[in-house]
Chain A
Amino acid sequence: MYDPVIIYLLLIMVASIVAGIIGALGGLGGGVLIVPFLSLYFKVPISLAIGASIVSVIATSSGSAAAYVRDKISNIRIGTFLVLFTTTGAILGAFLEHIIPERALFIIFGLVLVISIIPLVKKIGEEMPSEVKNAPIAEKLSLNSEYHDGVLKKNIKYNVTGVKSGSAMMFMAGVISGLLGIGSGAFKVLAMDLAMKLPIKVSTTTSNFMIGVTAAASAGIYFFTGDVNPFIAAPVAIGVLLGAITGTKILVRIRSSSVRKIFAIIILIVGIEMLLRGMGVAV
């Protein structure tokens, strides 16, 4: 009756549902939650945990994409333009993996994340960015758009600025993604929110589209080298998909300021997690 195999599978699935909900809301793949969860509590080796994380990232992305495309919240033009930089970065990251010590990277990116809390907290109560002017390239590629906000019950028109600095941050996000096998959605949302000044719901949903494509650039490498273990990947995939679909239903109903708060908390957790790992504390 209490078969340990079934209990194990169920527990992974429940944790994955939670990761999927948070991932779909915050624009990340849930890998930052899945990896420590599997390696800490379930004694899964780190390489297999990362393999499962890649599955989780793509499952969140594909599971929430249908809803976000239909609701027209995610901006596919911005997303497609920016994945140019994340995928290139991801390939470079895969090469760099052999050169740069991983711990140094964890510390650098952990610091970047923790520091970026400051501007996030400053505008924590902000519902919408105000008075943003289109950058010339945004004008040229018509990146500006609008979406219907289910809470404010009106169409929100928005412009896009900071395309250059945003693209540079995306490239860095891609490098981390290739290096660490995560979606690095936190960095993507940060770039769109702080540099490009997009409404937070547009940032998280567009990031959801982008993490899937970015993760796909390293998914083949992880799968075909044997890092994706079906016993772990199956409950993760099913759980994360269920969670992501639930997350999309929540996103359209909550206030932008709440999404921002959830995102700030995630950033803090991820930042501390990375710092600890960089300092050699096993997480």
Chain B
Amino acid sequence: MSEKIQKTKQEEEAIASKILVAYLIWSVIISVTIIILGVAEYLITGNTGYGQHPLSQLITAHGSSANAFPYYLGNIIQGITQFKSFAIIQLGVLILLLTPFGRIFLQIFIFAKEKDRAFVAIATTVFIILLISLYMVRFIA
């Protein structure tokens, strides 16, 4: 009997790790593909979509001081609808930066499936802390 429980527990863990690995691999592939598409468009057309800038300006441009690239959601989406290369890169980077959010979110369900109440609570708390950090952007920006 206990052997059987042991086996199903191992199977569950194997499925959980497969889901997690698939999520990680695909989020990395999707974000990097989008970034590469943006870079390719930029290199081929030589157009950032946000005006002509010499190299010295490209590497020192800050989002808030120069209009050299978009950095908030509305701006990025608008830029993508116009196929602007730097908007496409930013979308890829943003997806990459958000992968840990999805990972913790998945982890909550994996712990729940394993009926591990203590860790469901721990992972949920971590997820809430991450959401609070996003909310704090308002106060710092």
A-side interface residues toward B, CB under 8 Å?
4-6, 8-9, 42-45, 47-48, 54-55, 58-59, 61-63, 65-66, 69-70, 72, 76-77, 80-81, 83-84, 87-88, 90-91, 94, 140-141, 212-213, 215-221, 223-235, 237-238, 241
Given the complex, which residues of B lie within 8 Å of A59, measured CB to CB? 96
Question: What secondary structure prevails in chain A residues at the interface with B?
Answer: helix
Interface residues on B, range: 35 or more
Cα separation A75 to B8 with both chains bound (whole Å): 20
Residues of B within 8 A of A217 (CB): 129-130, 133
B72: which A residues are within 8 A, CB to CB? 224
Q: Which of B54-76 contact A (CB under 8 A)?
A: 55, 58-65, 68-69, 71-72
- Indicate if the CB atoms of A225 and B137 lie closer than 8 Å: yes
Give 6 nearest A-B pairs by CB, closest first. A226-B63, A216-B100, A230-B89, A66-B24, A217-B133, A226-B64
CA–CA, A70 and B13, complex, Å: 11
Pair count A-B, CB < 8 A: 178
B5 at the interface (CB under 8 A from A): no
Q: Known interface pairs A69-B20, A80-B123, A229-B62. Does A219 touch B97 (Cβ–Cβ under 8 Å)? A: yes
Partner of B133, one of A6, A47, A77, A90: A90
Nearest CB in chain A: distance from B106 CB, A: 11
Given known contacts A65-B24, A72-B17, A212-B103, A220 and B126 CB-to-CB distance under 8 angstroms: no
Chain B residues with CB under 8 Å of chain A are 17, 20-21, 24-25, 27-28, 31-32, 35-36, 38-39, 43, 48, 55, 58-65, 68-69, 71-72, 86, 89-90, 92-94, 96-101, 103-104, 107, 118-119, 122-123, 125-126, 129-130, 132-134, 136-137, 140-141
- In the bound complex, residues from chain B placing their C-beta under 8 Å from that of A230 are 38, 69, 86, 89-90, 93
Contacts of B130 in A (CB 8 A): 87, 213, 216-217
- Closest residue of chain B to A4 (Cβ to Cβ) is B55
List 9 A-B pairs, Cβ < 8 Å.
A4-B55, A6-B43, A48-B59, A66-B28, A80-B107, A216-B133, A219-B98, A224-B71, A231-B61
